[in-house]
Amino acid sequence: MPFVRIDALGCDRDRLDALGRAVQQALTETMGFPPDDLFQVLTGHDGTRSTLRYDDYLGIHRDDGVVYIAITMRAGRPDAQKRALYRRIAELTHTHAGTEPRNVLVTVTENASADWSFGHGVAQYAASPGDAGAVPVAP
């Protein structure tokens, strides 16, 4: 757990894969998630049938290399750790996928343990200890 959505404009399968690897590596390095804790939706937009809209917000010039990364995870991490995550994602998307750091927009949405079910209709992080499938884990 985290759940990651990556949307990129003009993006082929190889670049989407590189973006996914970059974000997963950043999450592992800065947040301590295990490498196999991998839940991602990777979507490329061709600019015709689907697209992304952007502008030069806060003085940051974006172009058609724009990438939107939305991360949902349980609440509880300090702001400094999130800032480290944003920096590392920008670095690694540049290294792995050639994406200019100015084109990387990241959002983090936090929720509670009861907001997750990984299968079998069980809220594994919030299940009572006697429930089948309960998993005692830290945020």
Burial pattern 85-121, b for ≥16 Cβ within 10 A else e, equals bbebbbebbbebbebeeebbbbeeeeeebeebeeeee
For 89, phi then psi, to 5°, come to -60, -45
Residue 34: active-site member: no
Helix axes 79-97, 13-31, angle to 10 degrees: 150
Asked if residue 50 lies in contact with residue 8, where contact means CB atoms within 8 angstroms, the answer is no
- Which position among 2, 35, 136, 139 bears the catalytic label? 2
Active-site residue list: 2
